Structure 1
Amino acid sequence: MRFVESLTRRPWTIAVGLTAIVVLWLASGALRPTSETVADDAAPAPVAAARVQIRLRHAEPVTRTVKIYGRTAPARTVEMKAETSGRVTTLGVERGKRARAGQVLLKLDLRDRQARLEQARAGVNEHRSAWEAQQELKPQGYVSDTELAATLARLESARAELIRAQLDLEYMQVRAPFDGTVQERAVEVGDYVRAGDPVATFVDNTHLVVTGSIAEQDAGFVRVGELATAALVTGQDVKGRIRYLSPVADEATRTFTVELEIPNPAGDLPAGVTAEMRIPGGEVLAYRVAPSLLTLDANGALGIKTVDEQNRVEFHEISIAHSEANGVWVTGLPESAEIIVVGQGYVSAGQPVTTVEAHPEETALAAGKTMGKKESGTRQ
């Protein structure tokens, strides 16, 4: 009874006692490891090798395709200017309309141009008659050589004035320099123009040029005059020839300018739209694979994973040689390779794996095709 009363008066003794018991229990467990812990440290459980599906593939010859993006533009663009002064009286071709070479696009007021031409012709006739008369009188000694030379000079001056008058009259009509289309018109009927004033923008869209920039590592595949194709953003596919490759790379971008000229006789292909040029780059050995087989390594390089003879994963950095609707042709692998077609996303280079021969339909899907019956096998 006294002991209970003592505990009641001093409750802190209970707390101290319980704390001492807990500390002793924890210490005994730390100093005496259990048999299970010792066993785990001595013999860790083995980790099973990852299981992947592979398929033996062989490289095939394919034409490498260099793809670059550019924009279409007319083959020629001319800023037409007035060559004489005058007031616009007639517009021969409206904006957006096609014109043949030599067709009148606009006319200026002739005013006194015709009168000047007739005056120049009269001057030529007058000086010619004087010169011919003096030639007949010279043998009789009535005309000196100096007088005859002066008359001939006046005749030549009159002829030059006649040519200027003829040209001035011709300049009153602005004509199309080649077959093409009036893109813009800077004047209207009644406007007064002076020599050198712009009157219209005329484009040759009977041919279009796709201009783009090609990387320096691909420039060596391009040959001026070779055939190439382009896919316009409008959905139109066209063919043409390479007409220009810049001899020097751009200092800022390290790329080369390339131009593809394509025929457009009907004028139905638009200028100023985005286009993808596809330039053949020679024959290479490549593999046709589905894009899903492509992976990235730790450095961000694009590649494909294979299995070597020791059943270890290898990563091969690749380049895309050609693209198709259901697959891509890639280079960078050996001539024969066991490509991982299922499970490549769960293994890394150097990792040991257990391989299974892929089913034919898995192989077909990996190559962008479709097949039927299944086959399988295992290699460890």
Structure 2
Amino acid sequence: MTRMSRSLIVQIVGAVLLLTAAGTAWFLGTQGDGEGAAGGPGGFGNAPAPVIVAEARSDTVVERIEAVGTARARETVEVVAELDARVVGIGFEEGQRVTAGTVLVELKDSREQALLREAMARRDDAEAQLKRARQLLQSRNVSQARVDELRSEFDAAAARVAIIESEIRDLQIRAPFDGIVGLRDVSPGAYVSAGRRITTLDDIDVIRIEFSVPERFYGRLRPGLTVTSRTAAFPDRAFTGTVSRIDSRIDPATRSVRVQAEFPNEDGRLRSGMFMAVQVDLEERDTVILAEEAIVSQGERHFVFVVEDGHAHRREVVLGLRRAGEVEVRTGVLAGQRIVTEGVDRVRDGGPVRTLTADRSDAPQGSAPGAGAS
């Protein structure tokens, strides 16, 4: 190989090496700029990552149980006839409010009245004979055995009078408590048999709503808890009551416990049988609230980035209740701390950040809008 050939080869190899070195330097330089600008791990630069932050704030949250239930009257009864008889009088209007003792229905009692007069006559006669016998007993003109016999006859006659008087009272059907009567099922002149329903009577001054609560909440239930309820009949109104009774047993089929709540109902809006949506307030507490998009989840663990002195620091947090667009933080963050809400994918633990406002055109993309902090 000639000297000229060797020189040409050396020049070519040198040029190739030079180009290779220049290309490598250019490639590494551009990669380093990209990583550094992003602030990601492994970057060659240290440019602050653009983020939007919001302050964690104090707020009050209420932990609730949601259920459905049915409204019941505090007291309810079917008014029925106790004897076979004919209806001779109706003493109420349907839907009327009545007081305890009001005569609702009168049944025919002419036969019982006649029997009562006969029984009273027998009782009076037995009483008169007993008095005469006691007088004769003092003069020994009658035996003690005869006096005792007459005493038994008088007691039997008096008992017969009491029985008939009770039957007559039963022929006057009265309201057992204050309440509102329902529709009547009989008409004047109708013959009713014992047990026949006449009407219904409901005490709705206080309404009871019965509902079921999952077993896991049983230990936190107690009488006096606030209950809010709504019904489709009055969609714009919320009714407020309190837990009054908790069943002593858990239903093994549904793994739930029955609960009763009482609601004042002076205006009578709520009626027995209504379908009710129920919320039970278990606990009201002051806590820290964050925007939901600030949370970074890794399996069952959750983190946020707290911005301090221009750097982002990752903190593990324990979450609580969730509501629209927000989440409760039980531990890990204090109210007033600045939390990254947008751009969390650009941030590394301890890395520098540059805070933007929510309306900046260079705000990080791919996250839901959040509150800005400057």
Same fold, judged at TM 0.5 (above): yes
Cα distance, 1:88–1:331 mapped onto 2, change above 3 Å: farther
Residue type of the alignment partner of 1:118: R
Tell me the distance in 2 between the aligned counterparts of 1:296 and 1:156.
90
Q: Which runs of 5+ in 2 are unaligned?
A: 1-19, 41-48, 361-369
Tell me the distance in 2 between the aligned counterparts of 1:298 and 1:107.
77
- In the TM superposition, residue 86 of structure 1 has moved relative to its aligned partner by 0.3
- In the TM superposition, residue 314 of structure 1 has moved relative to its aligned partner by 5.7
Q: Deviations over 1:91-115 (max 9, x none)?
A: 2223333222211222212231211
Residue type of the alignment partner of 1:334: G
Tell me the distance in 1 between the aligned counterparts of 2:91 and 2:83.
18
Is it true that 1:82 corresponds to 2:81 in the alignment? yes
Is it true that 1:254 corresponds to 2:255 in the alignment? yes
**Does the CA contact (< 8 Å) of 1:95 and 1:183 recur in 2?**
yes
Tell me the distance in 1 between the aligned counterparts of 2:260 and 2:354.
49
Match of residue 367 from structure 1: none
**4+ long deviations beyond 6 Å:** 294-299, 326-329, 350-354
**Does the CA contact (< 8 Å) of 2:317 and 2:332 recur in 1?**
no
Is it true that 1:244 corresponds to 2:242 in the alignment? no
Residue type of the alignment partner of 2:200: T
- In the TM superposition, residue 78 of structure 1 has moved relative to its aligned partner by 0.8
Cα distance, 1:86–1:316 mapped onto 2, change above 3 Å: same
Match of residue 281 from structure 1: 282
Q: Deviations over 1:250-292 (max 9, x none)?
A: 21222222211112223233443343444443453423456x6
The total of aligned residue pairs comes to 319
Residue type of the alignment partner of 1:191: A
1:1-380 mapped onto 2 (5 Å cutoff): 48=38, 49=40, 52-57=51-56, 62=60, 64-69=62-67, 70-233=69-232, 234=234, 235-288=236-289, 293=293, 306-307=304-305, 311=313, 316-320=318-322, 330=328, 332-336=330-334, 339-342=339-342, 357=355, 359=357, 375-376=373-374
Deviates more, 1:309-318 or 1:64-73: 309-318
**Does the CA contact (< 8 Å) of 1:341 and 1:358 recur in 2?**
no
- In the TM superposition, residue 173 of structure 1 has moved relative to its aligned partner by 1.5
Tell me the distance in 2 between the aligned counterparts of 1:131 and 1:314.
98
**Does the CA contact (< 8 Å) of 2:71 and 2:270 recur in 1?**
no
TM-score, normalisation: structure 2:
0.70
Cα distance, 1:375–1:288 mapped onto 2, change above 3 Å: closer
Tell me the distance in 1 between the aligned counterparts of 2:214 and 2:353.
39
Residue type of the alignment partner of 1:341: T
Tell me the distance in 2 between the aligned counterparts of 1:272 and 1:340.
51
Helix, strand or coil at the partner of 1:286? strand
Residue type of the alignment partner of 1:87: R
Match of residue 366 from structure 2: none
Match of residue 364 from structure 2: none
**Does the CA contact (< 8 Å) of 1:106 and 1:174 recur in 2?**
yes
Match of residue 27 from structure 1: none
Tell me the distance in 2 between the aligned counterparts of 1:93 and 1:215.
44
TM-score, normalisation: structure 1:
0.69
Tell me the distance in 2 between the aligned counterparts of 1:171 and 1:202.
17
Cα distance, 1:103–1:247 mapped onto 2, change above 3 Å: same
Residue type of the alignment partner of 1:237: A
- In the TM superposition, residue 195 of structure 1 has moved relative to its aligned partner by 2.0
**Does the CA contact (< 8 Å) of 1:179 and 1:206 recur in 2?**
no
**Does the CA contact (< 8 Å) of 1:59 and 1:286 recur in 2?**
yes
Cα distance, 1:305–1:298 mapped onto 2, change above 3 Å: closer
Tell me the distance in 2 between the aligned counterparts of 1:203 and 1:297.
55
Cα distance, 1:160–1:95 mapped onto 2, change above 3 Å: same
Cα distance, 1:195–1:274 mapped onto 2, change above 3 Å: closer
Residue type of the alignment partner of 2:211: G
Tell me the distance in 1 between the aligned counterparts of 2:327 and 2:157.
75
Q: Deviations over 1:325-353 (max 9, x none)?
A: x8867354435276453467xx59x9999
Tell me the distance in 2 between the aligned counterparts of 1:172 and 1:122.
22
Cα distance, 1:91–1:51 mapped onto 2, change above 3 Å: farther
Residue type of the alignment partner of 1:178: F
Cα distance, 1:53–1:63 mapped onto 2, change above 3 Å: closer
Helix, strand or coil at the partner of 1:156? helix
Tell me the distance in 1 between the aligned counterparts of 2:340 and 2:251.
41
**Identity over aligned residues, as a percent?**
23
- RMSD of the TM alignment (CA)? 4.0
Q: Which runs of 5+ in 1 are unaligned?
A: 1-34, 363-369
Q: Deviations over 1:3-62 (max 9, x none)?
A: xxxxxxxxxxxxxxxxxxxxxxxxxxxxxxxx9xx98xx9895764586533342555x4
Tell me the distance in 1 between the aligned counterparts of 2:61 and 2:262.
22
Q: Deviations over 1:296-328 (max 9, x none)?
A: 9798x9x976226875586754335xx7xx886
- In the TM superposition, residue 225 of structure 1 has moved relative to its aligned partner by 3.8
